[in-house]
Structure 1
Amino acid sequence: MIQEIKHVIDVLRKGGVILYPTDTVWGLGCDATNEEAVKRIYEIKQRADNKAMLVLMDSTAKLQAYVSEIPDLAYDLIDMSAKPLTIIYPQGKNLAANLLGDDGSIGIRVSNEDFSKKLCEMFRRPIVSTSANISGVPTPRNFAQISQEIIDAVDYVVQYRQDDLSEPAPSSIIKLGPGSLVKVIRE
């Protein structure tokens, strides 16, 4: 696994787009600080660039570098969540501008899955994670369901877990706002 991660990091550093397993569904990913790479994902997905995408990180300790204000509640929610949890924070920073929502918000998930967690840790930057499908087409639940069009559009397809036919669910999504506002977007 480590050799493959090193190869993936090389692709990411060159501005490449990857297809990789995450703690939920397979995702399209790139360096979350590279605006051109983020633009390519929007193009691959045929998705309007005003629809924000989320990023993966390997630890809560790195949140401070990419979020202006982190409510204490965020740490509690991450610690208590029994399944993958994406939190939308009010103001992202140090990320590609075209990755942020129109209001400056950013969705971040701390991964606990072996491959994506180790990838984020070794890359030392957040990685975009968006479902591996054309916008408007149902989300593939495992590698076997990903369209050839998506596979052909990326710079590298991770070999790890391609034979896993389980069908994980997408993450829960919670939006945190000013004054301890909590809004459940997806359970």
Structure 2
Amino acid sequence: MHNDIKKALEVLHAGGVILYPTDTIWGIGCDATNPEAVKKVYEIKNRVDSKAMLVLMENPNRLNSYIDEVPEIAWDLIDTNDQPMTLIYPGAKNLAANLISSDGTIGIRITNEEFTQNLIQRFKKPIVSTSANRSGELSPANFYEISDEIKEAVDYIVEYRQEEMEKCKASSIIKIGLGGEIQIIRP
């Protein structure tokens, strides 16, 4: 794992794109603050940049660096949740502009998975996490379901956890508002 983190960090710092395991499904990722790197991910996915992607962070204490005002309900959801959960926050800031939705929101998931926690902690910035498939195709449930087209398009493929065959699922997605509003996008 340590060698993978070292190589992934080199690619992220250079503005490249990685294919990596997350706390849910395998993801395509890059520096969430680098608009050129984000553009590469959209191109790999053959996806329009008006369809936002989420970012991973390793620690909820970093939310204030990327969200204008974290709604109080977010802290309750983070504290009580024991499954991967993506929260869509209003007032995104300090992220690549082409990553933020037109309404100013951004989806953020706090990861509890060892590899991504270590990677993000050492990178000191959030990273993009989007499913490792072309837009419109089914999300791969494990590494072996990822197409060769995706594998060839990224700059680095993490070796850690490639052999795992269990079918993983995507996170729940909840949109939250400053007034405590909650909208469940994906249970």
- Using structure 2 for the length normalisation, give the TM-score: 0.98
Deviation at 1:83, TM superposition (A): 0.7
Structure 1 residue 180: Cα displacement: 1.2
Q: Give structure 2 stretches of 5+ with no counterpart.
A: none
Partner of 1:106: 106
**Structure 1 equivalent of residue 6 of structure 2:** 6
Aligned to 1:62: 62
Task: Output one character per residue of 1:95-150: Cα deviation in whole Å (capped at 9) or x when no partner.
Answer: 00000001110000000001011111110000000000000000001000000000
By how many angstroms is 1:177 displaced? 1.3
- Distance in 2 between the 1:120 and 1:141 partners? 23
SS where residue 129 of structure 2 aligns? Answer: strand
For residues 145 and 49 of structure 1, the distance between their equivalents in structure 2, rounded to whole angstroms, comes to: 25
In the alignment, the residues of structure 2 paired with residue 112 and residue 75 of structure 1 have an alpha-carbon distance, to the nearest angstrom, of 16
Specify the alignment match of 2:30 in structure 1: 30
SS of the aligned residue for 2:6 comes to helix
CA drift of 1:3 comes to 2.5
**1:15-164 equivalent positions in 2, closer than 5 A:** 15-164=15-164
Report if aligned partners of 2:87, 2:109 keep a CA contact under 8 Å in 1: yes
Given residue 78 of structure 2, which amino acid in structure 1 is its aligned partner? I
Distance 1:144 1:88 in 2: 30
**How far apart in 2 are the matches of 1:179 and 1:55?**
23
Q: Do 2:21 and 2:161's aligned partners in 1 also have CA atoms closer than 8 Å?
A: yes
TM-score of the pair, normalised by structure 1: 0.98
1:9-66 Cα shifts (integer Å, max 9, x gaps): 1110000000000000000000000000000000000001100000000000100100
Give aligned pairs, total: 187
* C-alpha deviation, 1:82, in angstroms: 2.0
Between the aligned partners of 2:112 and 2:93, the Cα distance in structure 1 is: 23
Equivalence map 1:169-180=2 (5 Å): 169-180=169-180
- Which residue identity lines up with residue 83 of structure 1 in the other structure? Q
Secondary structure of residue in 1 paired with 2:179 = helix
Identity %: 57
- Cα RMSD, aligned residues only: 0.7
How far apart in 1 are the matches of 2:173 and 2:161?
A: 25
SS at match of 2:95: coil
